[in-house]
Amino acid sequence: MIFDWITYIYLADELLTGTDEAYYRSAISRAYYGVFCIARDRKGYSDYKKSDAHSKVIENYVKSSDEDERIIATILIKLRRARNYADYDANVVINREMAKMMVNSAKAILDILGIQYDDFKNNGGKE
């Protein structure tokens, strides 16, 4: 069975119910990685493992002639920046509101891609 990256976004949603900053940092990280991997796979980069994978995938969306894909790029850039703060910068305070905003941004990308998150979540994580 192949791992479904949307489960990271589902987990991010669950982490929002946590009570401290570690949950919120983890929620941002999971939301980013979940939606990044989905976007990456949609562009055919699932086997691309080099260190520049994130910038390469995002650049592909930035340079797209499709308006929706350029919107995805803008959201991915914002999510990646937040994920970097969450994962690497102890001086930045990450609260529940910021984490929720980032999880919702990941869900917005799912919506643009035509992926029904609520259906997935309501089925207990099964499509």
CATH architecture entry for 6-122: Up-down Bundle (1.20)
Q: What is the mean pLDDT of residues 53-62?
A: 96
Domain boundaries, the chain: 6-122
Question: Which phi-psi region, left, alpha or beta, contains residue 67 (left: φ > 0; alpha: ψ -120 to 50)?
Answer: alpha
Distance CA 94, CA 126 (A): 30
* The pLDDT of residue 1 is above 80: no
Question: Which amino acid belongs to residue 101?
Answer: M
Q: What is the pLDDT of residues 14-43, one digit of tens each?
A: 999 999 999 999 999 999 999 999 999 999
How many Å apart are CA 118 and CA 104, to the nearest integer? 12
Confidence of residue 122 (pLDDT cuts 50, 70, 90): low
Token pair belonging to 123:
């089925």
Supply the pLDDT for residue 119: 63
CA atoms within 13 A on the CB side of 42: 19
